[in-house]
Amino acid sequence: MIRIEPYPLDEEAGQRAGERWDSIAKPLGSLGLFEETVVKISRIQHTENVRADKRRVIVMCADNGVVCEGISQSDSSVTALCADEIAAGRSNVNVIADTVNADVKAVDIGVAVPTAAIDRKTACGTKNIAAGPAMTRDEAERAIQTGIGLVREAKAENIDIIVTGEMGIGNTTTSAAAASVLLGLPPREVTGRGAGLDDARLANKIGVIERAVAVNRPDKNDALDVLAKLGGFDIAGMTGLFLGGAECGIPIIIDGAISAVAALIAERLLPGCRHYMLASHVSAEPVGKLLLDSLGLRPPITAEMRLGEGTGGLMLLPLLDCALAVYNKAHRFDEIALERYRPL
């Protein structure tokens, strides 16, 4: 049983942050979602002096048994290869993380073979969801606990903000399957081309998801059942990151569609968990916007990204830095003898 006691939100700190925004010599609310994001972080951090200096991206790496159904361009060997590259600091996420001053933790939470990533392996990959459950309920809970533990470690290191990332061939299939059940939508409405499938392979992917749902008969009212039957260890680990953020009072950034599925599962397991989440971008995968809408979250970035690894989530950080620069350094109405804007 997963038990989380959420870190309380500080509404007074949020009010003070809003008042600081309104004191800056500019039209009220004119930085839009970035103002809302800073206020949201202030509630989580219990201070209007928002911090985002120490940042980390945690990339959950895992293999998915459903790859045997031909639903991806690549085979499972690519998961281990990419996990090794992330651990070595050479992948896409590392390049962006270096640019925005974030550290990267590659976590092997379920790759089929040994890797250079941090070893927190739940099992050597999941089973084929088209033939039965991906994992046991106990395995799902253990993978979630791994994610929670990683956030606790980050808190002990005084990390201010965490980006969720994943690497696992086949995980656009597992995430679409889980999203289909959680959102109550047909698989064809939530399934995209992933890394670039042609029409025939996309049709096969949709068919595999339809079979997976029919075979497993997940309970849409039990998010853990949906995760265990249709998900992956990477999704379970990210679910734990979101739950850990709520427990530890650390803002957790949602990356793309796969990360957003984990965010929705976390919200279903712990209602209100979304108040500790920050949306970064809306994925090019068709389910991306649907998932964020279901969480009541609006992403500042619309750029048709679908790279994964946490790359889209990292893109939010320099924009947040710009907003915080205005928040902390821009001139105030009372400093330049300018009459304040007032809500009309």
Sheet holding 118-119, edge to edge: 118-119, 102-110, 55-62, 161-167, 252-254, 277-279
C-alpha separations of 72 from 42, 66, 171, 322 in Å:
41, 9, 9, 38
Catalytic site residue from 35, 85, 166, 309: 309
Apex 177 CA angle, 222 and 192, nearest 5: 145
273 Cβ neighbours under 8 A, 6+ residues apart = 6, 242, 243, 245, 246, 263, 266, 267
| Torsion angles phi and psi, residue 253, rounded to 5 | -90, 130
Q: Does residue 309 carry a catalytic annotation? A: yes
Do the beta carbons of residue 102 and residue 56 sit within 8 Å? yes
Apex 84 CA angle, 80 and 87, nearest 5: 135
How many CB atoms neighbour CB 137 within 10 A? 14
Choose among 326, 327, 331, 329: nearest CA to 25.
331
Choose among 283, 82, 279: nearest CA to 191.
283
Distance between CA 186 and CA 179 in Å, rounded?
10
How many CB atoms neighbour CB 30 within 10 A? 12
Do the beta carbons of residue 234 and residue 61 sit within 8 Å? yes
Per-residue tokens: 319: 């924009």
Distance between CA 277 and CA 26 in Å, rounded?
27
Catalytic residues: 309
